[in-house]
Amino acid sequence: MSVNVYDVAYELEKSVRESNDYKELKSLYEELNADSEAKQLFDRFRTLQLELQQKQMMGQEISEEEVQQAQQTVAIVQQNEKIAKLMEAEQRMSMLISELNKIIMKPLEEIYGNPEEQ
Amino acid sequence: MSVNVYDVAYELEKSVRESNDYKELKSLYEELNADSEAKQLFDRFRTLQLELQQKQMMGQEISEEEVQQAQQTVAIVQQNEKIAKLMEAEQRMSMLISELNKIIMKPLEEIYGNPEEQ
Ligand SMILES: [Ca+2]
Ligand SMILES: [Ca+2]
């Protein structure tokens, strides 16, 4: 009898939760939420980012002006140390999650082949 | 010291590989590949499906005729028992993978909140 897949998935959930990357992300996010000024700046940035992503997904054109506005906002938010640290932690967490997904998808790659290699 | 996240991910990979859902998918896929007639039919269906998905993602219109052609192809492939069984197994595997992803993403949901609940 093989191990229950869900049991192992819950173990993985637990180990993500106990990882340093996760703990740091969580504490940086709580710090940001406690700083209303930084929080507002960050929310504005996230909204702008989401709007641009949605436009891109819908195949809508993004104007020169919008690109510049986005770049300016990135420059401003990155000067805020709390936000800059949070964004680094988010990037690390997102890399970890994407690596975990790759590992879990390996058995399927063996059936269908890796599209990137074809 | 917490457990290494990657070690647990590789355990999950192993348990996916040893699951009945995975073993069945793999053997059904091998059976299909050994049947050139069914394989051709299935490949044609997959190509058509991919084309329609890409059109949809690009925001391009899908004609009435294309929808009908796709529905006819689905009806034809589902009459092939090997393909019908494989497609059911693929659906089960895809549900399993999406449930595993949900479990792994739970810690992040706790930080950011569940978008579906907002
Ligand atoms: Ca402040
Ligand atoms: Ca045949």
pLDDT in tens, A21-55: 999 999 999 999 999 999 999 998 999 889 988 98
Tell how far the Cα of A49 is from the centroid of ligand 1, in angstroms: 22
List pLDDT tens digits, range A3-20. Answer: 799 999 999 999 999 999
Our CA-based measurement puts residue A24 at a distance from the nearest CA of chain B, in whole angstroms, of: 11
Which residues have CB under 8 Å from B1's CB, separation 6+?
Answer: none
Q: End-to-end CA distance of chain A, in Å?
A: 35
List pLDDT tens digits, range A60-118. Answer: 888 999 889 888 988 999 899 999 999 999 999 999 999 999 999 999 999 988 665 54
Q: Are B82 and B32 in contact (CB under 8 A)?
A: yes
What are the chain B neighbours of A25 within 8 Å (beta carbons)? 111
Tell how far the Cα of B30 is from the centroid of ligand 2, in angstroms: 14
**Nearest chain B residue (CA) to A101:** B101
Q: End-to-end CA distance of chain B, in Å?
A: 35
Q: Can you give the pLDDT at residue B84?
A: 94
The yes/no answer on whether domain B5-117 falls in CATH 1.20.1500.10 is yes
Residue in the block written with tokens 């993500």: A16
- For residue A85, give the nearest of A47, A31, A20, A40 by alpha carbon: A31
The Cα–Cα gap between A88 and A77 comes to 12
Which residues have CB under 8 Å from A104's CB, separation 6+?
Answer: B9, B12, B13, B16, B97, B100, B101
Residue ranges per structural domain of chain B: 5-117
Tell how far the Cα of B88 is from the centroid of ligand 2, in angstroms: 19
The Cα–Cα gap between A91 and A110 comes to 28
The Cα–Cα gap between B12 and B104 comes to 11
Q: Are A5 and B12 in contact (CB under 8 A)?
A: yes
The Cα–Cα gap between A30 and A68 comes to 30
Instruction: Check CB contact under 8 Å for A111 and B18.
Output: no
**Better pLDDT: A14 or B61:** A14
Instruction: Give the environment of ion ligand 2: residues with CB less than 5 A.
Output: B 35, 37
Instruction: Check CB contact under 8 Å for A9 and B105.
Output: no
